[in-house]
Structure 1
Amino acid sequence: MHLSLLCLDQFRREQVSKPQISRKKIAILNDYQGVALSMADWSALQKETEVVVFREPFANEREVIAALADFDVICVMRERTPLTREILRSLPKLRLIASTAQSNSSIDVKTASELGITIAWTEHLPYGTTELVWGLILSAIRRIPAEVQSFRTGGWQTSVGQDISGRTLGIVGLGNFGKAVARVGQAFDMRVIAWSPNLDPEMAKGLGVEAVSKQSLFEDSDIVTLHMVLSERTKNIVGSAELDCMKSHAWLINASRSGLVDQSALITALDMKQIAGAALDVYDEEPVPADHPYREMGNVIATPHIGFVTEDTYRLFYSQTVENIESWLKGMLVRETVAAG
C-alpha cells in the first residue's frame, strides 16, 4: 500500500517537472452571424488547439493587437479586419494567416513574408455575388424595398416600377463576375454593353456583349453595374464626370468594391437627384457608421456587404480554412500566397 502511494507521488512529481507544451491558439475573426464553427468540422483542431471566435469587429488597430497578441493562427473573413504592417509587427506569436478567397488586399503580404508569417487562401464561388447583384437590380427597378415597407405599414401601391426587358445594361469590367451578370441580362432580353481599360472587343462580341467607350456606357445605360478589381489604376474610376453622363432614370449598382466610386461625388449626385439611385453592397468603412448619409437617403438601396455571404460560400471558405490549418500544423500547406517581388 505504501509502495503504491510512493509510486503515485513520484509520478505526480515527474508530471509537474515535465515542460508543459502550450496548445496553439487559433482566432476566427468577424464571425458576425456566429456560424463559423457550424460551417465546417473543427473538431480535430479543437482537440489539439484552442479555437476562439470573435464575432464583433475591432474598433481600431490597438484593439486588434490587444486581442490577438497571444494567437498563433488568425482566420480572416475577406477584408473585414485589415492586417497592416503595424499590426503584423505587433503580433509576435503569429505564424499563419488563414484568409478566405485568394485575393485579400487588406493583408500586408510583403510584411508577412518578411516576418515569416505564412498566408493560406481558399477557393471561392462566383455565383453568390452575381445573384445578389440581380437582387439589387430588381429591387431598384421595381422599387421592391419601398413597396414592402408600404405593405408592412398598412399601405398599398406607391410607385410605378420600370421594366428591364429591352433596356440597356452597362457592365464596367467584363471579367468572371461581369460575364455572369451579362448572361442574366441577356436572359432578360436586355441590350448588354461593356467597358474596361483593357477590354477585348472580340472577346466581348463572342459573349454577345457590345464593347463601347467609357462615355458611351454611362450615357446609354439604364443600369450601370461595376465588376472590377480595386487598384491604384481603378480607384475612383467612377466620379462626377461619369455620374453627370448618366440618365436621370438610371441606377448605379456596386457590389464589387467601394473604392471604384468617388463616394463624395456619388452622394452629391444622389442628393441632387441626378440619377434615379444607387444600389450598394460595399462601402469605404465597414460596418457603415450609424449616421452615414446612405442610411437616410430614399434613393439608396443598401445591403451590408452580403454578396459572398451564402451557405455554399461559407462552407467552402471554412472547410478549406480548416484543411489549411491542419496541413500547416503538419508542416505542409495546400494553398499559400507568395509575396510579389
Structure 2
Amino acid sequence: MRVIVTDDWEHAALSATEWGDLGSDVSVEAIGEHLDAARLADRLAGADVVVAMRERTRWDAALISRLPDLRLLITTGAANAAIDLAACAAHGITVCGTRSHPGSAAELTWALILAAARRLDRVFPAMAEGWPSSVGTALHGRTLGLLGLGRVGGTVARVGAAFGMEVVAWTPTLNAARAAEYGARAVRRDEVVESAHFLSLHLPLTATTARTVGAADFARMRADAWLVNSSRAGIVDTGALRAALEAGSIAGAALDVFDEEPLGRDSFLRGRSDVILTPHLGYVTDSAFRVWFADVVEDIRAWRGGEPIRVLE
C-alpha cells in the first residue's frame, strides 16, 4: 500500500511518528513542495492513501476525479474546508480527520500581537547591524477586541486579561456569563471594532462570515489599531484591507493567513512597513505534528481493518 503526505513544507511528516507501525507492506513518502493540480495528480498516481496538510491544497472535484487509485484521504485536523466531501463520496473515497493540539493558534496570535506592539519585525533584523531603538506600545490598559470567542479566541482572551488589557468580544450568541469565563466583556460587534487597539479574528469561515470584515469595519477602527488574523483569510475583504492600509486609516495588519498560499511574490502585502507577515504558522508546532501524524497512522490502521474512525461527512 502506498501512502503520500502532501504539502510537507517543513519536511517534518516522516519524522513526526512511527510510520513503521503500519507494517512492511506500506510505503510512505512526502511531497515537500506545493504543486499545482496537474502536477500533483501525476505525483499521486497509484497512491491508495493521501494525507492532506490542512488546507494547503484544494481537493476539489476536478482533482479528485484524476485520482482513481485513491481510497482514503486524511486531513490533519478535525475539518478541512478545502476538501469536496461530496466528490470524495461519489468516488468511493473515505475521508478522515485527526485531533489537534490545543494552544498552537492562540500562541501564534500572541506572537503577532507582541511583534506589532514592539515592532519586533523591525528590531530583530536591525539588531544584527547595530543598536535599534523604538518606543513600543504597552498592552496593559489597552483594549483587545475579539471577533470570535471559541476555543482559540477564549485562550487569546485569557492571555490579554493576564496582560492587564481590557478584553471585549463578540460572537452572534455570546452572553455576558460566557464572556466573563475568559476574562472578557460581551459587547456589540461595532463596539469591538471601534474600541480595539488590537482587533483579532477568531471566527470560522462560513458563507455567513466570508468577507464580513470589510470597508465599514476599517472605517470604524481606531487610527492606531492593528488587525490581527491567524484564523482564515477569507473572513477579510482583502481589497478593503488594502485600501485601509494605503489610506493610513489603521496602524497596520499582522497576518498569518492569506487568500493565496504560498503568498505570491508580487502581493501588495509584501514590503510594507505597516504589515507583519508569517507563513501560516498558526498550527505548525512540534506537538501538533506529533498528535496529527500519530492519529494519521491510527486512521490508516482502522480503515484497513474495515472500521474507519474520525470519518468526515
User: What are the residue-to-residue correspondences of 1:60-139 with 2, within 5 Å?
Assistant: 60-139=36-115
Structure 1: gaps of 5 or more residues: 1-23
User: What are the residue-to-residue correspondences of 1:322-337 with 2, within 5 Å?
Assistant: 322-337=297-312
1:8 equivalent in structure 2: none
2:159 equivalent in structure 1: 184
Amino acid aligned to 2:3: I
Amino acid aligned to 1:48: D
1:256 equivalent in structure 2: 231
1:215 aligned onto 2:190:
yes
2:25 equivalent in structure 1: 48
Q: After TM superposition, give the deviation of residue 160 of structure 1 in Å.
A: 1.0
Query: What value does the CA root-mean-square deviation take over the aligned residues?
Result: 1.3
Provide the rounded CA distance (Å) in 2 between the counterparts of 1:64 and 1:148: 37
Deviations 1:8-44 (A, max 9, x none): xxxxxxxxxxxxxxxx211111111211111100113
1:20 equivalent in structure 2: none
Deviations 1:281-336 (A, max 9, x none): 00000000111121111111110000110000000001110111122122222321
Counterpart of 2:8 (choices 31, 47, 51) is: 31
Deviations 1:132-178 (A, max 9, x none): 11111011011111112221122421x21111101111000111111
Provide the rounded CA distance (Å) in 1 between the counterparts of 2:108 and 2:181: 25
Provide the rounded CA distance (Å) in 1 between the counterparts of 2:302 and 2:182: 40
Provide the rounded CA distance (Å) in 1 between the counterparts of 2:175 and 2:50: 40
User: What are the residue-to-residue correspondences of 1:255-274 with 2, within 5 Å?
Assistant: 255-274=230-249
Structure 2: gaps of 5 or more residues: none
- The alignment's TM-score, normalised by the length of structure 1, stands at 0.89
Provide the rounded CA distance (Å) in 2 between the counterparts of 1:165 and 1:155: 26
1:175 equivalent in structure 2: 150
Counterpart of 1:316 (choices 291, 296, 307) is: 291
Deviations 1:250-281 (A, max 9, x none): 11100000001001111111122111111110
Of 46-55 and 236-245, deviating more is 46-55
Deviations 1:172-192 (A, max 9, x none): 011111111000001011111
Larger radius of gyration: 1
Counterpart of 2:137 (choices 140, 162, 175) is: 162
Provide the rounded CA distance (Å) in 2 between the counterparts of 1:66 and 1:148: 42
Provide the rounded CA distance (Å) in 2 between the counterparts of 1:33 and 1:242: 35
What secondary structure sits across from 2:29 in the alignment? strand
Counterpart of 1:245 (choices 199, 216, 220) is: 220
Provide the rounded CA distance (Å) in 2 between the counterparts of 1:231 and 1:206: 26
Amino acid aligned to 1:36: A
Identity %: 39
Counterpart of 2:170 (choices 182, 187, 195) is: 195
Provide the rounded CA distance (Å) in 1 between the counterparts of 2:207 and 2:33: 30
**Contact 2:105/2:282 (<8 A) preserved:** yes
Amino acid aligned to 1:110: A
Amino acid aligned to 1:38: S
Q: After TM superposition, give the deviation of residue 207 of structure 1 in Å.
A: 3.4
